[in-house]
Structure 1
Amino acid sequence: MSGTFERRLLTRDRGAGILQKLWLIPWSFVLLLCAVAAVGYVALYSAGGGPEAYAAKHAIRFGFGLVLMLGIALIDIRFVARFAWVGYLGGVALLVLVLLHGNVGKGAQRWIDIGPLQLQPSELMKIMLVLGLAAWFQRASWERIGNPLFLVPPVLMVLVPVGLILKQPNLGTGLITAMVGGAVFFAAGVRIWKFALILAGAGLAAPIAYRQLHDYQRARITTFLDPESDPLGAGYNIIQSKIALGSGGLWGKGFLQGTQGHLNFLPEKQTDFIFTMIAEEFGLVGALVVLGLLALVVLFCFAVALRCRHQFGRLLAVGLGTNFFLYVFVNVAMVTGSIPVGGVPLPLISHGGSAMLTTMLGFGLLLSVFVHRDAEFGPARE
């Protein structure tokens, strides 16, 4: 009996036991995520003036997400690949459901109630899209990927959810979803000239797309170019954010001492502008430390992609890493005035249940790729 148990622990692939898989989990990465979430707790404690408003919920959500992440990490990645299509179709169904029966908030219809949880399906869809595309490309040969007809279904797989997300409307998440899909296409080996054609077409269609935007979306673009044109309206958020960033200086004003945040000049300080809150209280040094922690998370994602021996895991890791990077990049660029304001949270730090749930779900899949990085998927399809 003991010999059989030992053989199971020493077998890396199909016979791998739960104990061995737990041993294979990179616990340094888990500690890194805990550190980032701790930054979020401190920032949300300050934003709410105590733990009750935001920080306590953040800690509970992260704790639940941590259990979920570790549970998913133990699931064989081939089992995940087998049911990736179910996840993708389920994500699309939720997007349709939110358009039919979703809750309306701040002029957008983006949420649905599932028991006590208010879910934003567009957040979940990015993970499901990566799963679906990875499943499509997992055993495709180089020649098959070069066939334009082979790319029609995955292109539709991207366009359908992006169109549904834009319909909500949610321009920022829609664009991020499209870029995440593009990253998976690139990692799968789609030729560069095809991306060039798409970008050229997007450039030509940009004036038409601009006219189709909602008034508040056009106002965000105008305000980005000249925030002072409407300092008390559309330009208010970014002006106050820049004031807070500048007032933090090198070392910051100190924990709970941020004037822009605590005097309520800084809007949405617990969600979209949480990075500004951190920079005001902990200064440039604190902001760079936070960015360093987030950069390490992104680097780990791509390191997993490089170490994985099967295409499904590589594409999954690239897609998940790109999604996390884009959220960090867009949020930081937004609050610093580098791009138009677009309602994108800072992952693991901003207040929000859907973002936390989907982020930890994605990291669970990433850890599953890492644990099962040597799994056999079979030869490429011609």
Structure 2
Amino acid sequence: MNYRTRIVSSLDEIGQATWDGLLGAQQERNPFLSFAFLHALHASGCASPDSGWQPQYLTLWQGQSLEAALPLYVKSHSYGEYVFDWAWADAYRRNGLDYYPKLLSSIPFTPVAGARLLARSTNASDALVDALCALQEGNRLSSTHILFPPEAQARKLREAGFMLRTGIQFHWINQGFRDFEDFLSSLDRKKRKNIRAERRKVQEAGVSFRHIPGDAASEADWRFFKRCYDRTYAAHYSTPYLNLDFFQRLGRTMPQHLRLIVAERKGKSLASSFVVHDDSTLYGRYWGAIEDIPCLHFETAYYQPLEFCIERQIGCFEGGAQGEHKMARGFLPHRTWSAHWLAHPAFADAVERFLQQERGGIDAYLDELNDHHPYRVTAG
């Protein structure tokens, strides 16, 4: 079938109804792929040419119908990606070659898996991959990187000449728990005892919690959360990626997917976490505190959201990037995928060999983690 290819530098050129209609056509409900989330990143300046994220979405059309799309950026750095290629960039530099700019398909600053090849049909998906290959081979950019696609799309990209890379995240799976105590009863004795001790420390410190749905969050709530968020980055001597305008835009355009959890003591706000959710998955995103209280992080960012998942019968809580410590709180390791294409043949060969070695290490690490899962082993 014949498709018209367009490179789109602003989602305004597509429109919300058309973009979200494409997601609906393939039953993609991930809120991070929605027009509201992506447009907030762009319009707030968080992911924009000035910040090193130049939108160049690859789209396929038939008449006025958007048949396929790939969120795509021209990147001038590797910040905010969570699949690290700094060593590759350094190798290019040491050999007198330019690694940047590069092409990247990802949700900026968001290490969440979801469809990257958005298409109404298999034919459109195949044509989108063909268009991507033609685009990357026809420009002078060093490479293309597709981050956190589902495994099936990663395999499809492998058939088109991409190299695959795997990683690990930690997700909590709701096993139909009736309440938090029911969840605790599924854990081994040591993990159960530790969680109860952590929660008791927060309770004995006089801390209570307020859950704020996105449509009830006030200007003061968003400003306090942003203060907490900034403090977390400052504690790690880093600069925050997201600004207040971005969070406020989300509060106006997709409040049904948002929740703020605020820790308080004697009427004073102490900490806040920000989560995104749909009917099936809760995504842990950001947290911060203006006062240091033992175990407050675990309660605000893990245990309160877990109680929300159990109450709402949400099936999965994705804990974000990294964090082996999450296993002690009931999270289990899950494999993630990324796909990479490098234009320079010698560097592509070197990266392929590196990825083979790294994949063996990831497989061994995953096996080791699964051997130490936190749940009780039942007889039979």
TM-score, length of structure 2 as denominator length: 0.27
Question: Which has the bigger relative contact order, CA under 8 A and spacing at least 6?
Answer: 1
Q: Comparing both structures, which one devotes a greater share of its residues to strand?
A: 2
Q: Comparing both structures, which one devotes a greater share of its residues to helix?
A: 1
